[in-house]
A and B are shown apart, each in its own frame.
Chain A
Amino acid sequence: MDSALLSLLGAFLLSLLGLFVFIWSMRKGLLLENPRAASVIFAPGEIGRADDPALPGDEQKPLRDAAAEAGEAGHPPDPDELLHRVEADRSTAFPVFMFIAFACMWLVLGSVAGLTSSLKLHMPDLLVSEAWMTFGRIRTVHLTAVLYGWISNAALGTIIWLLPRLLRTPLMGGAWVMLGGALINTGIASAIGAIGSGWTDGMEYLEIPWQIGLFIVAGFICIIGPVLYTLVNRKVESLYVTVWYHVAALLWIALLFIVAKLPGVHTGVQQATTNWWYGHNVLGLWFTPVSVGAIYYFLPKIIGRPVRSYNLSILGFWTLAFFYGQVGGHHLIGGPVPGWLTTLSIVQSMMMIIPVLAFTINMAGTMWGRMHLARYSPTLRFMMFGGFMYMLSSLQGSFEALRSINQVAHFTHFTVAHAHLGAYAFVTMVLFGAIYFMMPRVLNWEWPYPRLITLQFWLAAIGIGIYFIGLSIGGWLQGLYMLDATKPFMDSVAVTIPYLEWRSVGGSLMVLSHVIFVGHFLAMALRFGPQRTGAALFWPRKAQELLHGE
C-alpha cells in the first residue's frame, strides 16, 4: 500500500480510538474533578496553608496571609501525617544532597562551556590553539555537562526527594541510590574527559562512548531498584500523579539509553532514526515528565491548594506517554528515511497539543486568582515561569514539526533556540524552583540570602529571553536566506552574526545567574550567612517537627 495512504489510515484509526477513549472516560466520570486523589499531597488540615521553605520564617507570613481565603478557619496540620513526611525527608537527605551538589558543579562547568562555544560562533579565531577547545568539542562538553550532569542529576535529586514523601515511606536502599549516583557521575566525568580528548560515539545526544555508558546504565539500575522497592512497600493507597510521571520517567530513560547505545546494532540511516528517537525522547520521556511531575507537586504545595482536576493530569500523563515517544522522526523531514516515518512523527507532534493543553488548563485553573502569590514566593515564580514555558515550547515544537515551518527552521539556529526554550526556560527553571524548595528541608537550614533567589530568577529569565528571541529571529532569517537560491550561502551566515552576538549576551546573564545560584547553594551548605535555624542533618526531633510542620 502507498505510504501516504497508510499514514492517513493510521491517523484516522488513531482519531477514532481517541474518540472512543474520550466517550469512555466521559461515561466513567473521569473528567470530573476528583479532590480526594488530588489532596493526597496534603496532610489533613494542611490545605489552605501556603508553604515556601525558601522563604525565611518571618517572610512566610505575608505569603500565608495573601493565600488565605475568607471564611476559612486555619487549623494546624495533623502531626501524625507530618511525622511520616519528616521520616521520609530524613531518609533522603544524604542522597538528595549528593545529587544536587553534583548538579551544581556540572551546571557551572556546562554553562561556561556553553558561553565559550557561543562566543566562538562570532569570534571564530578565539581559543583555537588546542584541540579540546575547538567548537565541535567544547559545544559537546556543554551539552553533556548540562543535559546529563545538571538536568539529570537535579532530576534524580527531585525524584528521590519527592517519592518517599508522596508514598509516606522512608526511602529503602538509600546506600544503593548513593552508589548509583556515584556511578552516574563517574560516567559523566569520564564522558566529558573523553569528548575533550576526541573520543566520542559521534551522534548528537549520544556522544558518550558506550563503554563509559555502562557506568551510567549501572548507576540507573542501582537507583531504579530502591525506587521500585519503596514504591511496592508504600503506605499510601492512591498514587499521586507525580509518582506516575517520575517512576515512568526513570524506567523510560534507562531503557532509552540502553537501546540507543547497544553497540554494533545500529548503522547507516537506521542509526539516524534511532538517534532521533533517543534524542527527542530524552526531552520528551525524561526531562518533561520529571519537570511536569515536579510542577504537579510543588505548585499546589506552595499555594496550599490541590490541583484543579486530578483526572485531567492523568489524561496528560497517558497522552504524553503514547504520543511523545514517536515524535523524534520530525528531525529527519526531507532526509533519506522512509516517508511514512516522518509523517507519523508530524502527526504525533500535533497530537502532543493534547497533553500540553491538559496541563495548561489544569494549572491555569489551579492558579486562577492566586497568581499574585508569586510576589511573595520566589519558588512559585520559578514554577509558574517553567510551567508557562512548557506550554510555549511544546506548542512551538508541535508547529515546528509541520513541513512548511520545518522547511525554514530545519538546519538553523531556530532549532537551537527552541531546544533552549525547552531545556532551559522550562526544565531548568522548574528544577531551580524545586531545589529552592527542597534544600531547606534537606539541610535543615534556611537559604541565607533570599534576595539572591530573586536576583537569580531575573538574571536567568531575562538571559533566556534575550537568548531565545534573538536566536529565533536569527535562525528564521538564516532559514529564509538558505531557501532563497539567488542568495549565496555565505549570506545565510552573515545575517546571523548580530543575533549570535545577542545570544552571547543572554548566555552571559544566564552564566552569571548560575554562579549566584551555586554560590548561594555553597553558602547554605557551608552554613554561611545570617539565618541559622538548626544543626546540620542530625537535628533533634523537636526542632524537626517545628521546622517541617510548624
Chain B
Amino acid sequence: MNIKIRTLAKGIALIYGCALTSVAIANPTPVPPAGQLCVTCHGAEGEGIEPLGPRLAGLSKEYISTQLQHFQAGVRQNATMMPMAMTLQGDGIEQVASYFSAKSPKTEVKPVIRGEQVTFSDDTARLAYQGDWSRGLPACVTCHGPSGLGGGLFPRLAGQQASYIKTQLLAWQAGTRKGDVDGMMANVANKLTAAEVDALANYFANLK
C-alpha cells in the first residue's frame, strides 16, 4: 500500500511538472489557485491522465460542482478524490468548475440524432441509442444527449476514458457512487451485465 502511494506520488509530481510547463505555452487562462491540485491528475486542459484522472473538459460547470460536493459529502466515495475535494473551500468549487467546464474536449464528436439510424447490428450501439425496455433500460442518450455529449447534471461520455466509465458504472452498482435523484442512474447501472459495462465504456470512449 505504502509503496503504491509513493509511486503514485512520484508519478503525480512528474506529471504535475510537465502539466505546468504545457499550461504556460498552450493555455493563456491561468489555472486558478484552487485548481492547481486538479491538474496533476486531470491535466491543465482537463484532458485527463489515465488512469489517474478522467477528462474534465466537456463537462458542464453544474456537473463538476455537483460532483465535488458529492465527494465532500461522502455521497461519492473515492480514496483520492475525497481528500482532494476537501481542499476546495469557499469559492474553490466554483472556480474549479468554471475553469474546467470552459475547456473543450480534445475529441470532436459529431452528434448522431436519435432516429437517424433505425436498426443497429451492434448490440452496444443499440443499447446506447434505444435501450432495452424489456429490462427497463432506457437509452443512454436520453439523458446524456446525442452521442453522449452530456449537459447539465449529465456527464459527457463521448471521448471519456473507457477505464473511467467502467469504474463508474461499477461504482454505481456497488453503491459507492450515489447522489443521483431517485437513484435513476443506479437503477440503470444495476441492470447492466459485466459484459455490457465493458462494451458501453469502450463504445462511448471511442466515439468519433
Do these two chains interact?
Answer: no
Interface residues, chain B, with chain A CB atoms under 8 Å away: none
